[in-house]
Structure 1
């Protein structure tokens, strides 16, 4: 295993050869690493529920040209707001991160950036996100403002609950309602139900991710569903996968759109979760990380089929 001292200008758990390490100007690398730009999976997992929301709105109301801008705005917004969320998370967790082997090479605990610099970068990213949000209409704006409460709370959840993954799901999947509101000018039952289904999905994939850190988390007193479930994780996560698919099915049905195509996409999503469960090894950190990354593909399957269903 490669240590931080062997890679002094990199984050240990970032993919080797990522674009930040290879292409970004050296002065910008600490900022981009603070935003997790070297690990785009988080941006995908924040973006995909937004795209689901657009697909559900199109199924309920038909497509509009403005949907193209909503999709692009959500893409840009997911990148900068995920970066802002990660920056805030690292500010609040800097002392914990310094005690965990996988995270002590991150920019704040390793000294690549100062605390003042991290706060400044947080403000810059937040302002960019605000500019994007202001283009999406009043309903979406209010939804975006409301999400800040969840974003602010999440980093502290692992200090007071065994279920921090629930708080992550509440925040990370808010975009399904925000994007729907940008199209419809309101929030209906379908995106709210989809939000609940997506939260179950987040508990599924983030518990898999958290299994990488169970030993370090136990030593420093950080709570997680991975620690809570322990050896029962495969069985419990099977239940959350089933719950996610079932609740998302209800959300799709509520749109009254092209259900056959949408349900085909949901079937593909569910089969991907089943594949993850069959390959899940709680004590194999490398496998857990690869399975976590694969949820981009699971979410894309559903997003693609919802988009087609909304267009037809």
Structure 2
């Protein structure tokens, strides 16, 4: 709870998708019930994912400067206690899932395999950030599925763009640990791209904006959604401009700033449902 950025980044694709589906469904505003349920679910499932990751990575965490103080790695919490906490968080997530429509429940269950295997991927592939992208972007399908009871092109385009967004920002995040990762033998896109990280992140961010624009056009949406996307794109461009992969503190700050980028996009989508229904009827 003292590091909420992970919950925000898991939540934002859910909120984007919910708002985009509200526009497509001609709703007067994104469903407050869904927004709240996704917020609770994001906190619970992000916590469960962190607990599962810390259980599996406890030996590796002891060898990495940034992670050796984690509760399990440092011995503050036992593995059985961590499993009990994992079950509790998973049950909260299950309660949220069962509050959604049947089609969304099935869609959510389909993500569990990806969530379970992600912590192991850095042992076998140089692009574990891609698996994280799939897991963290599943909400882009969940919001649409909850409103529309189906999966359509706008949700798939939003999902694809979100995967690349996560892939890029987690590459930035991974540069904090690249020296330790190389020693321990853990793989990441930070080590894969090295000095080409800026170019790789720039290309990913450009594709993100393109895919999100395609998602908006396929609905279609109004001007406020596009203004939100423009603000989102400017924020991503500013991230690339200030990125310094040799400065761990800056890498963390740039990574965290993606919450603000995502909220800008959500604000545009939400305004696209709210303002036409409150302002346009007043116009002559």
| Common fold: TM-score over 0.5 | yes
> Of the candidates 88, 103, 108, which is equivalent to residue 139 of structure 1?
103
Report the Cα distance in structure 2 between the residues aligned to 1:219 and 1:133, rounded to whole angstroms: 40
Equivalent position of 2:3 in the other structure: 39
Is structure 2 residue 84 aligned with structure 1 residue 120? yes
Q: What SS does the corresponding residue of 1:109 show, helix, strand or coil? A: coil
Equivalent position of 1:182 in the other structure: 146
Q: Tell me the TM-score normalised to structure 1 length.
A: 0.86
Equivalent position of 2:236 in the other structure: 273
Residues 233-272 of structure 1: matches in 2 within 5 Å?
233-258=197-222, 260-272=223-235
Is structure 2 residue 275 aligned with structure 1 residue 306? no
Dislocated runs of 4+, deviation >3 Å: none
Whether the 8 Å contact between 1:66 and 1:183 is mirrored in structure 2 is no
Report the Cα distance in structure 2 between the residues aligned to 1:172 and 1:105, rounded to whole angstroms: 25
Deviation at 1:233, TM superposition (A): 0.6
Report the Cα distance in structure 2 between the residues aligned to 1:158 and 1:152, rounded to whole angstroms: 13
> Of the candidates 222, 246, 259, which is equivalent to residue 283 of structure 1?
246
Gaps of 5+ in 2: 277-284
Deviation at 1:59, TM superposition (A): 1.4
Equivalent position of 1:165 in the other structure: 129
Whether the 8 Å contact between 2:30 and 2:270 is mirrored in structure 1 is no
Report the Cα distance in structure 2 between the residues aligned to 1:120 and 1:41, rounded to whole angstroms: 24
Residue by residue, what CA displacement relative to the aligned partner does 1:86-139 show, whole Å, maximum 9, x if unpaired?
A: 111111111110100000000001011100011111111101111111111101
Report the Cα distance in structure 1 between the residues aligned to 2:147 and 2:168, rounded to whole angstroms: 29
Q: What SS does the corresponding residue of 1:110 show, helix, strand or coil? A: coil
Specify whether residues 114 and 63 from structure 1 end up closer, same or farther in structure 2 by C-alpha distance, changes over 3 A only. same
Deviation at 1:144, TM superposition (A): 1.2
Q: Tell me the TM-score normalised to structure 2 length.
A: 0.95
Residue by residue, what CA displacement relative to the aligned partner does 1:228-267 show, whole Å, maximum 9, x if unpaired?
A: 0001111111101101100111111111232x22111111
Deviation at 1:310, TM superposition (A): 2.6
Residue by residue, what CA displacement relative to the aligned partner does 1:71-93 show, whole Å, maximum 9, x if unpaired?
A: 00000000001000111111111
Equivalent position of 2:24 in the other structure: 60
Equivalent position of 1:92 in the other structure: 56
Q: What SS does the corresponding residue of 1:226 show, helix, strand or coil? A: helix
Whether the 8 Å contact between 1:150 and 1:167 is mirrored in structure 2 is yes
Q: How many residues align?
A: 275
Gaps of 5+ in 1: 1-36
Equivalent position of 1:22 in the other structure: none
Report the Cα distance in structure 1 between the residues aligned to 2:28 and 2:270, rounded to whole angstroms: 12
Deviation at 1:307, TM superposition (A): 1.0
- Supply the RMSD in Å over aligned alpha carbons: 1.1
Report the Cα distance in structure 1 between the residues aligned to 2:157 and 2:117, rounded to whole angstroms: 22
Residue by residue, what CA displacement relative to the aligned partner does 1:200-247 show, whole Å, maximum 9, x if unpaired?
A: 111111111000000000001111110000011111111011011001
Report the Cα distance in structure 2 between the residues aligned to 1:165 and 1:63, rounded to whole angstroms: 35
Report the Cα distance in structure 1 between the residues aligned to 2:29 and 2:170, rounded to whole angstroms: 35
Deviation at 1:65, TM superposition (A): 7.3
> Of the candidates 113, 119, 131, which is equivalent to residue 155 of structure 1?
119
Residues 153-232 of structure 1: matches in 2 within 5 Å?
153-232=117-196
